[in-house]
Amino acid sequence: MLKVLGFVKRNSKLSHDEYRAGHVGYHNSFGRRLNHIRGYLLNVASNTPVINSLGKDLVHRLTRNEPEDFDNQWDGWGQLMFDTFEDYLAARSPARDFPGELGLQMDPMVGKLGDDLDELYAGTPFQFQVDEFISRPVVRPERKLFKLVQFGQRPVELPVELFRAYWTGRYASLASTMPGLRGLIINFRTPLDVMSKFFAADAEGFTPAGIERRQDFYSLWDGMAEYWFDSEENFVRARTSKPPPLYTLEQEAV
């Protein structure tokens, strides 16, 4: 399975709620119809600061060396799932799913994803493929859950293999035992080019400024963990219960 994430910054003329309405509503109505797509998940950053949700003490204990203004570089990200890389590259083509006078017809707007990228986003999405490690499969009831994402950066002196092994090994094993956990997934960004044949050659993301903007974002992290709970209160209880073995691990080199 190919998993592609695309981080986006909203167009400055849109408020947070307007961006969310446009992305969840109009844009996603085309994205979910991409050819060969197996799964489509949209994540929109909460407009409630995490320090308000979790409390200052817990946020400070969980966060170290946070890049300046990191959260202002993005407002959301989409997750696309395909069987193969070839299916992904062929996704942006007209879809034969439009009911018309002559029966089921081709809809060219699917290939254009609604043709709203310039109005919805502030530049081309930061799109990349990830290797997914499922520590605990996400079990989602038919209601909204609390999702927290933690970004991690590999120390320069630590080999990539060890960085991944530490995070998906002892740490993930302990984290997966947290009471109330609905799911834990760890993603590691790969260098696979999933932009060149997916976006138009003249897209902003391929200009010198667009490339620099994307590489600056990539330079700040190497992996991200997705924690799913029923509520933020459940997460806080799980992370502050005694004894808290995860805190010890978080002080190690990884």
pLDDT in tens, 233-251: 999 999 887 655 565 555 5
Structural domain count, the chain: 1
Judge contact between 174 and 249, C-beta under 8 A: yes
pLDDT of residue 254: 43
pLDDT of residue 247: 55
5: burial class by Cβ within 10 Å (0-12, 13-18, 19+)?
buried
Q: Over 50: is that where the pLDDT of 253 sits?
A: no
CA-to-CA distance for 47 and 45, rounded, in angstroms? 6
CA-to-CA distance for 247 and 27, rounded, in angstroms? 40
Q: Report the pLDDT averaged over residues 184-203.
A: 95
Nearest to 10 by CA among 72, 53, 66, 100: 72
pLDDT in tens, 104-143: 999 999 999 999 999 999 999 999 999 999 999 998 888 8
Q: By residue range, what is the domain housing residue 51?
A: 2-250
Average per-residue pLDDT in the chain?
92
Q: What is the 3-state secondary structure (H, E, C) of the chain?
A: CEEEEEEECECCCCCHHHHHHHHHHHHHHHHCCCCCCCEEEEEECCCCCHHHHHCHHHHHHHCCCCCCCHHHHCCEEEEEEECCHHHHHCCCCCEEEEEECCEEEEECCCCCHHHCHHHHECCCCEEEEEEEEEEECCCCCCCCCEEEEEEECCCCCCCHHHHHHHHHHHHHHHHCCCCCEEEEEEEEECCCCCCCCCCCCCCHHHCHHHHHHHHHHHCCCCEEEEEEECCHHHHHHHHHCCCCHHHHHHCCCC
The larger pLDDT score, comparing residue 71 to residue 75, is at 75
pLDDT of residue 244: 54
- For 17, list phi and psi in degrees, rounded to 5: -70, -35
pLDDT of residue 250: 59
Only one residue has tokens 């799964």, namely 39
CA-to-CA distance for 210 and 195, rounded, in angstroms? 12
CATH code at 142? 3.30.70.100
Instruction: Note the pTM of the prediction, 2 decimals.
Output: 0.90
Judge contact between 2 and 87, C-beta under 8 A: yes
Judge contact between 183 and 137, C-beta under 8 A: yes
pLDDT of residue 40: 95
pLDDT of residue 243: 55
Only one residue has tokens 């699917």, namely 110
CB atoms within 10 A of CB 107: 17
Q: Report the pLDDT averaged over residues 18-47.
A: 95
pLDDT category at 42 given cuts 50, 70, 90 is very high
